[in-house]
Amino acid sequence: MAATFDVGRGIFTLTTRNTTYQMMADSFGYLLHLYYGAKTAGFTDWGLTFADRGFSGSPYELGRDRTYSLDALPQEFPTQGTGDYRSPMLVVRDSEGTCGADLHYVSHEITEGKYSLPGLPAVYANPGEEAQTLAITLRNERLGLNVRLLYGVIPDKDIITRSVIVSNNGEKAFTVQKLYSSCLDFTHGDFDLITFYGRHAFERQYQRHNLKHGIFSVGSRRGMSSHQYSPFIILAGHDATESHGRCWGMHFVYSGGFCAEAEHDQYRQTRLIMGLAQDKFSYELEPGEEITGPEVIMTFSSEGLGKLSHSFHACIRENICRGKFRDSPRPVILNTWEALYFDFDGRKILDVAESAKALGVDMLVLDDGWFMNRNDDFRALGDWKADEAKLGCTLSELVNKVKSIGLDFGIWVEPEMISEDSELYRGHRDWAMVIPGEKPVLARNQLVLDLSRRDVREYIIQSMRGILNEGVTYLKWDYNRSIAELYSHEGSNGKLAYKYILGLYEILERITSEYPGVLIEGCAGGGGRFDAGMLYYTPQIWCSDNTDAVDRLSIHYGTSFGFPMSAVAAHVSTCPNHQTGRITPLSTRYTVSMTGAFGYELDPLKLTDDERREISRQIQQYKVDREIITSGLYYRLSRPEDINRYCAWEYVSQDGSKALINAVIPQNHGNMPVIYITPRGLTHGAFYRDIQTGETYPADALMDSGFPLDMPKSDCESFTLRLERV
């Protein structure tokens, strides 16, 4: 059994292939956290300690006994107002403005299968895959407040998920002011916190620091998961490396504002919590109403960061992503944005399509500029009608012409946005989130539609139907600004940030259900909404608006800790690069870009004959390697401090029979020391053959001593080694 309950001790145990998670409903009705770590037998309540903690208060029912304090004990769902002064997961304000809600264990239920969440994405179990759900109910009698803690267990993947449902079963309204979904309390340990920071065009940069006394938090107040911080964090033992040591990860399955906090307290205990952003959040619950906290995916590894990543990769690839393209090969794309920007007509598109087809491309994606009056980014968002004068035909006719060339057809959309200079805005000014009496904040010359409104959602769905019914089989779903103003003409503005994301998910759920053969690529100015919530609907996401191969090394490196390569969309673009001006070899641009969602972002009509031949070879090779890239185990072969000197990574097939190793040396220097790459994941005792040279290597020697890279002759050289087990 993945989930069990010992009645005599009040201990819940969740078990996966390699991990154990335990908590206890104690004699006072408090739910205490006991253990999350390597798989173990028996019970771990002996790890709790009790002592007089001075100014740390005790529950009233203990009377003069001062040895029990929630300010020092590890908890599963800490709340405000219980004498625990550390960061709470729940803050509730009653109808008189009083905060505080003491929760006590009421009951629990263990069921087969993995729970789902109404209106929210969540991990699902595949047919035949073992899974169980533990639901624990806590209650506050004064408010009539019920909290239902949900735990999902996918044993074979070492995955445990957490979510929470807060409901009002009382007679008066109360307001939820803070709601987090997951907590891990550690009574001791020397930990590092790994987070991923960034900015537009430079997302998910690796950052690691040792936790000292105090609170460290990352999050987003921008209405999306953001370019600035990823909703994915790792707590690692100070000595943890890629292949050694203990580490714990939390992945928020949500695309809006979030916060993750790590607190090292007065007793050198560490609390790690994650949930909805508290900023601009004030969710009033009337009697009979409830709110669901988005899911957090958790995993533990005693074998270092690489194993932790593999667990998250498998879960997201196989238990978050859905639909036709979860397992099937993704098309090789040519996107027109950096090739043409707004400067095109129908004839140019067809010329590009014919040239792309000759290279071996599978799909042409027409980016921004295809709809009425959209010749720059100042106008027309929301008016999703094709500019037939510009295209020289209807959208349906253009789609059919491209398909007759032999390519599938995709198109760019930004459905959540509206331009002031648009027919939609002139007819529905109240659909935009603008605070009355205030001048709106403009970002990329656009405003945000109020997705909490049903009429807005219906308009977007109808608009997308109009496009997809023309034969389009791919949408690049963009989102090019943060939310500064939260205002709805329908009220309930404290709920708006949350309801906006629920509205987005409803739209995506309906579209993906109605058009199961359509591939949607998520995008938010590149990687501004690169999260597990979006991957539930869009199995790939444009990783960054920065297509520079050197910058992409660190972007892909950070992304790989929590996300599978099958989710990473990356394109070979032209040089000098449009973001950095850097010139890199075409071969290196390919090596960096050949992820699970691969393509090109350049004008094929401007290529030289040599470049055409090289790109044709690249596409042919990618289609040979595509399976191992999208479904293989991914290994980072360089450390963060190595990336400016070299960056190396590896794909190994699930059965260990093949390996694909890539490396890039960003800068060449005089009389450089030789760089050795040490692969991992090969079969012990086996031999591997270099497919290109035929030379054979013993796997154990390769994984121990590594192999030398050729000395580079210029900056930004790349190297590839394909191995096959013999």
pLDDT mean over 17-32: 97
| CA–CA gap between residue 498 and residue 15 (Å, rounded) | 32
Q: Are 590 and 558 in contact (CB under 8 A)?
A: no
Examine the domain organization and report whether 313 and 344 are in the same domain.
no
Give the model confidence (pLDDT) of 138-181 as tens digits: 999 999 999 999 999 999 999 999 999 999 999 999 999 999 99
Decide if 48 is inside a domain: no
Catalytic residue chosen out of the listed positions 263, 362, 531, 650? 531
Phi and psi dihedrals of 664, rounded to 5? -130, 135
Decide if 344 is inside a domain: yes
Give the model confidence (pLDDT) of 574-596 as tens digits: 999 999 999 999 999 999 999 99
Q: Are 2 and 111 in contact (CB under 8 A)?
A: no
The total of structural domains in the chain comes to 3
Instruction: Please calculate the CA angle 579-567-418 and round it to the nearest 5 degrees.
Output: 60
Phi and psi dihedrals of 566, rounded to 5? -60, -20
Separate counts of helices (H) and strands (E) for the chain: 13, 37
Note down the domain range covering 352: 331-415+452-481+519-630
Catalytic residue chosen out of the listed positions 611, 614, 690, 724? 611
Decide if 433 is inside a domain: no
| CA–CA gap between residue 88 and residue 183 (Å, rounded) | 9
| CA–CA gap between residue 152 and residue 298 (Å, rounded) | 10
| CA–CA gap between residue 213 and residue 138 (Å, rounded) | 31
pLDDT level of residue 609 (50, 70, 90 thresholds): very high
Residue 643: the pLDDT is 87
Longest Cα–Cα distance of the chain, Å, equals: 87
**Average per-residue pLDDT for the chain:** 97
Give the model confidence (pLDDT) of 423-441 as tens digits: 999 999 999 999 999 999 9
User: Does the pTM of the predicted model rise above 0.85?
Assistant: yes
| CA–CA gap between residue 657 and residue 723 (Å, rounded) | 8
Examine the domain organization and report whether 652 and 547 are in the same domain.
no
List Cα–Cα distances, 390 to 286, 393, 424, 485, in angstroms. Answer: 53, 8, 21, 35
Beta bridge partners of 167: 146, 290
Tell which of 630, 660, 677 closes a domain: 630
Give the model confidence (pLDDT) of 26-51 as tens digits: 999 999 999 999 999 999 999 999 99
Examine the domain organization and report whether 125 and 155 are in the same domain.
yes
Provide the Cα torsion 599, 604, 607, 609; round to 10°: 90
Count of CB atoms situated within 10 Å of the CB of 65: 11
Residue 653: the pLDDT is 98
| CA–CA gap between residue 129 and residue 151 (Å, rounded) | 16
Q: pLDDT above 90 covers what percent of the chain?
A: 97
Residue 266: Cβ-neighbour burial (10 angstroms; 0-12, 13-18, 19+):
middle
Distance of CA 35 to the CA centre of its chain: 26
Decide if 649 is inside a domain: yes
Give the model confidence (pLDDT) of 224-245 as tens digits: 999 999 999 999 999 999 999 9
Beta-strand pair 283-285/633-636: unpaired
* C-alpha count within 13 angstroms, C-beta hemisphere, residue 89: 26
Examine the domain organization and report whether 388 and 292 are in the same domain.
no
Beta bridge partners of 237: 191
* Catalytic residue check, 265: no
Residue 1: the pLDDT is 80
Examine the domain organization and report whether 228 and 282 are in the same domain.
yes
Residue-wise DSSP of 255-320 = SS-EEEEEEE-TTS-EEEEEEE--TT--EEE-TT-EEEEEEEEEEEESB-HHHHHHHHHHHIIIII
Tell which of 320, 351, 375 closes a domain: 320
Examine the domain organization and report whether 645 and 625 are in the same domain.
no
Residue 80: the pLDDT is 94
Give the model confidence (pLDDT) of 515-542 as tens digits: 999 999 999 999 999 999 999 999 999 9
pLDDT at 492 over 90: no
Decide if 102 is inside a domain: yes
Examine the domain organization and report whether 528 and 591 are in the same domain.
yes
Which region among 53-62, 347-356, 676-685, 688-697 has the lowest average model confidence (pLDDT)? 53-62
Residue 296: the pLDDT is 99
| CA–CA gap between residue 311 and residue 40 (Å, rounded) | 19
| CA–CA gap between residue 653 and residue 278 (Å, rounded) | 42
Tell which of 320, 341, 359 closes a domain: 320
Residue 358: Cβ-neighbour burial (10 angstroms; 0-12, 13-18, 19+):
middle
Q: What letter would DSSP give residue 436?
A: T
Residue 601: Cβ-neighbour burial (10 angstroms; 0-12, 13-18, 19+):
buried
pLDDT mean over 42-64: 92
pLDDT level of residue 368 (50, 70, 90 thresholds): very high
Q: Residue 695: which CATH number?
A: 2.60.40.1180
pLDDT at 647 over 90: yes
| CA–CA gap between residue 37 and residue 328 (Å, rounded) | 35
Q: Residue 302: which CATH number?
A: 2.70.98.60
Examine the domain organization and report whether 582 and 649 are in the same domain.
no
Q: Residue 541: which CATH number?
A: 3.20.20.70
Examine the domain organization and report whether 268 and 356 are in the same domain.
no
Examine the domain organization and report whether 314 and 405 are in the same domain.
no
pLDDT level of residue 715 (50, 70, 90 thresholds): very high
pLDDT mean over 261-285: 96
List Cα–Cα distances, 173 to 140, 164, 285, 286, in angstroms. Answer: 14, 19, 6, 4
Examine the domain organization and report whether 222 and 314 are in the same domain.
yes
Both tokens of residue 523? Answer: 């995008």
Decide if 13 is inside a domain: no
Q: For helices 496-514 and 454-468, what crossing angle results, to 10°?
A: 30
Decide if 495 is inside a domain: no
List Cα–Cα distances, 368 to 226, 340, 345, 412, 591, in angstroms. Answer: 22, 10, 12, 6, 27
Q: Are 156 and 123 in contact (CB under 8 A)?
A: no
| CA–CA gap between residue 93 and residue 177 (Å, rounded) | 7
Return the closest-CA partner of residue 282 out of 156, 177, 141, 202.
177
Examine the domain organization and report whether 213 and 294 are in the same domain.
yes
| CA–CA gap between residue 131 and residue 74 (Å, rounded) | 27
Decide if 200 is inside a domain: yes
pLDDT at 53 over 90: no
* Catalytic residue check, 611: yes
pLDDT at 103 over 90: yes
